[in-house]
Structure 1
Amino acid sequence: MAALSAARWDRFAHWSPLSARLGLLALLLLLIASAVVPLERPGGVQPNVTTRLDGKPVLGAEEYDQDIALYEAAIRKVRSGQNYYDFIVPEHRLRDYPVRPGLSVRLPTLAYIEAGLDTLHLGVAASIALMLAAIWAWWRRFGEEPGVGRLQRVATAMAFVGASLMLNRHYYSLHELWAGMLLMLSFGLHRGPTNGQPGRWRAAFFVAALALFIREFSLPFVLLMGATALWRRQWREAAAWGVLVAAFLAFLAFHLSLVAPQVLPSDPHGPSWWAFRGLSGWLGNVAESSNLRLLPHWLAGPLVVLTTLGWAGWRTPAGVFGFIISIGYGLLFMIIGRWDNFYWGAMVAPMLTAGLAFAPRAIESLLRSARAL
């Protein structure tokens, strides 16, 4: 009877006792594993370590600041009137950063945007405005979606926890931070068709497009948006996402074609991104690139798992999308990315923390379903 009377948006309330018990067992094992697997490089080296071309890691803020320094140098040179492609490869080489493969050289979009913002003294204002816009978009979406109700304030507060990373001025030049915040805003703005009414997707489309042209790691988000539109038979929207992907691939090819002629035979390849770090890759990237990094290891890891559980338990299109994003990027981080690439997690960490608001209800529903006869 409990399953029959449960709200449509409470996924685990509809599970059979056996499925719920197996789900609880899997959750327990995953929580234990997430509390003990390393979130940082084994041996006590923090994840803010970059491996240089000589293969020697340099610890802590010294080396991480060199990453930031590279991006800030690009911004300064663009602001002074230099063409990005005239200096970026020599700048990499000067600082002993790889230029092979070509994807090691960041897309120029953010350098030009930040150079323009800094010229107008609007950099900090723009970052705060983006954060507030993302929080506002999610407040509105939580207010419109079923299955939220009194959780609207809690969920929005959790969204603020994720978005507030934008307040850290030290990360201002990181491509992943800006792209991740834009994806969070895009997700919050998007509406699928309901009750015969057409969806509202154009604003989300343009925001996601900007994120994609800033950082290519936005591509899985865009592809999922397109696949979701196809699933809903929203042909015009699906076509728009398809055109965006094609335009981006052309832009990426153009970017690589400008980098390639400047690469010398003597330029070594950078360290491989194929690291296969498993659970540590997923949990470490998300925790260390979000405000969860302020918590002890044994708590930060399980909280990442619980954010995913919360999205899974919220039986709405938004919940399904959030769950797929969390699992999809999680699998990606399990396979690729070295320990010093932990900041890749900023692509999704801001938007995923809101799932924590739904985790207690998901656990309660699993327990209730497991006890049902």
Structure 2
Amino acid sequence: MARTASRWLAGPTRFAALSRSRARIGLALLPVLLLLCLSALFAAQPPSAGMSATGEPTSSADEAPAHDSDVVLYEKIVAGVRSDAGDYYTVATDAMRAGRYPLRPFVTVRMPALATVQAALPDWGPSLLLVLLAAVTAAAWGLRLGEVLPGWAPRAAASVLLLGSMLALLQPALWALHDLWAGLLIALSLALRRPGRWMEAVALALAAMLIRETAALYVVVMAALAWRDGARAEARGWVAALLLFGLALAAHAHAVMGATSPLDAILPGWTGLLGAGFFVKAVTLSTVLQFLPLWGGALLVGLILFGWASWADPLGHRFLVVLIAYGALIGVFARPENFYWALIVAPLFLVGLVFVPDGLRDLVARALDKRRITVTRVTR
């Protein structure tokens, strides 16, 4: 098997090992992926909710609460806990009733970990802590990417892409949003996980789950991949984290049910069935791709997914599976106002572009390879 010279990566991409027939299939599927991503042009539009001069959401009473109003809600909850207006569950449920949020089922109320920590900090503390977490995550990923990007140009490109992935997340107004914190913790967990070294990664993932329940999907993926790879101790570690999270979630459910009543509003459900296009739109809205025309951002999302599929490294494979899992979650269960679920994969997403040049080069080279092996029989 011929090895194509890599321009960016220290080694060949996953596509360099493909047979010619499979490479041709992969090359034919790439336009299909790009067209699928362009379905974002027809996906549901997240409801807009502006902010009034008083800081209140301007969405109508009949409109589902959207991104900005969620942030305002969480800020009010933190302020209420900080001012000793009551215990967390009293403050949270009162604030949600005032904002006409559903309180049933219990998962509509966020777990108390993030608000409790933020309430213990001064007003400027949560924003500073968020920046520090992002800096540590970026540094950890810089070290991991430096191992596979030998030249200064690809390293600089990766740094810019990593900054672009996180820049949209570090707005001071978003410090109260749970998905943002969970996404950064998951990104740091992935960066620290190595074969035979997984305890730090599991601990960070547990923290992410205690902040945002949807982080459990990441832990399920990591447990399954560890089991597939024969890393039984690591798989048991991920499962133990899930069990601890399950106990915490049960305690949370009990507390929420004690603070609510049958008269509280019920959430309509999580079967939006909005499709892959909505996931693509959600990712563009959660990164700096939001500043591009939607068609341009959607095409870049397709190339980024291709890039992550190109990287022949267990770390890249894990993140690709995580992307697919959250893409399915958002495409099947999210409603239009849940577009910010994509924040959980946003901190790393754009980095996939750095793998695209070598991935395309290897895939095209294998698809166009016309070499033949000629066997000559010599008769004596």
TM-score, structure 1 as length reference: 0.88
- Quote how far apart the aligned CAs of 1:316 are: 0.9
**Contact 1:134–1:184 (Cα < 8 Å) also in 2:** yes
What corresponds to 1:325 in structure 2? 322
Partner of 1:241: 238
Residue in 1 that maps onto 2:90: 86
Letter in 2 for 1:299: G
Unaligned runs of 5+ in 2: 51-56, 371-380
Inter-partner Cα distance in structure 2 for 1:15 and 1:233? 25
- 8 Å contact 1:41–1:47 — kept in the other structure? no
What corresponds to 1:160 in structure 2?
A: 163
Q: How far does residue 94 in structure 1 lie from its aligned partner after superposition?
A: 1.6
Partner of 2:117: 113
Cα shift readout 1:139-173 (whole Å, capped 9, x = no counterpart): 111123x4x32233322321221122332112111
The residue number in structure 1 matching 2:286 is 289
Does the alignment pair 1:132 with 2:129? no
Matches of 1:357 and 1:70, distance apart in 2: 37
Contact 1:39–1:297 at 8 Å: present in 2 too?
no
Q: Contact 2:12 / 2:312 at 8 angstroms: preserved in 1?
A: yes
Report if aligned partners of 1:40, 1:339 keep a CA contact under 8 Å in 2. no
Q: Aligned-residue CA RMSD in angstroms?
A: 2.5
Q: Judge conservation of contact 1:11–1:315 (CA < 8 Å) in 2.
A: yes
Q: Distance in 2 between matches of 1:280 and 1:350?
A: 20
Residue 260 of structure 2 is aligned to residue 257 of structure 1: no
2:146 is the alignment partner of 1:143: yes
Output the CA distance in 2 between the equivalents of 1:182 and 1:141.
16
**Equivalent AA in structure 2 for residue 271 of structure 1:** P
Q: What is the match of residue 213 of structure 2?
A: 216
**Aligned-partner Cα distance in 1 for 2:224–2:307:** 22
> Is 1:187 the counterpart of 2:190 in the alignment?
yes
Give the Cα–Cα distance (whole angstroms) in 2 for the partners of residues 131 and 255 of structure 1: 28
CA–CA distance in structure 2, aligned partners of residues 141 and 156 of structure 1 = 12
Amino acid at match of 2:282: N
Moved over 6 A (4+): 4-8, 49-54
Q: Give 1:333 deviation, angstroms.
A: 1.1
Q: How does 1:35-46 map to 2 (within 5 A)?
A: 35-38=38-41, 41=44
Q: Deviation of residue 47 (structure 1)?
A: 5.8
SS at 1:330 equivalent? helix
Per-residue deviation at 1:270?
1.6
In terms of fraction of residues, the more helix-rich structure is: 1
Inter-CA distance 323–23: structure 2 relative to 1 (3 Å threshold): same
SS of 1:76 mapped into structure 2: helix
- Shift of the alpha carbon at 1:226? 2.1
Q: Distance in 1 between matches of 2:138 and 2:76?
A: 31
Counterpart for residue 56 of structure 1 = 63
| Aligned residues of 1:135 and 1:159 also touching (Cα < 8 A) | yes
CA–CA distance in 2 between the matches of 1:337 and 1:36? 16
Asked if 2 retains the 8 angstrom alpha-carbon contact of 1:134 and 1:163, the reply is: no
Maintained 8 Å contact 1:289/1:345? yes
Contact kept, 8 Å, 2:82 with 2:120, in 1: the verdict is yes
For the 8 Å contact 2:106–2:257, the answer to whether it is kept is yes
Could you tell me which of 75, 98, 111 is aligned with 2:102?
98
Taking a change above 3 Å as real, the CA distance of residues 111 and 57 of structure 1, as seen in their structure-2 partners, is closer
Name the aligned partner's letter for residue 76 of structure 2: A
Rounded to whole Å, the distance in 2 between the matches of 1:312 and 1:260 is: 43
* 2:169/2:287 contact within 8 Å kept: no
Give me the whole-angstrom Cα distance separating, in 1, the residues matched to 2:178 and 2:70. 11
Tell me which residue corresponds to 1:195.
none
Q: Which amino acid aligns with 1:188?
A: A
CA distance in 1, matches of 2:200, 2:357: 32
* Contact 1:229–1:235 under 8 Å retained in 2: yes
Deviation at 1:216, TM superposition (A): 0.8
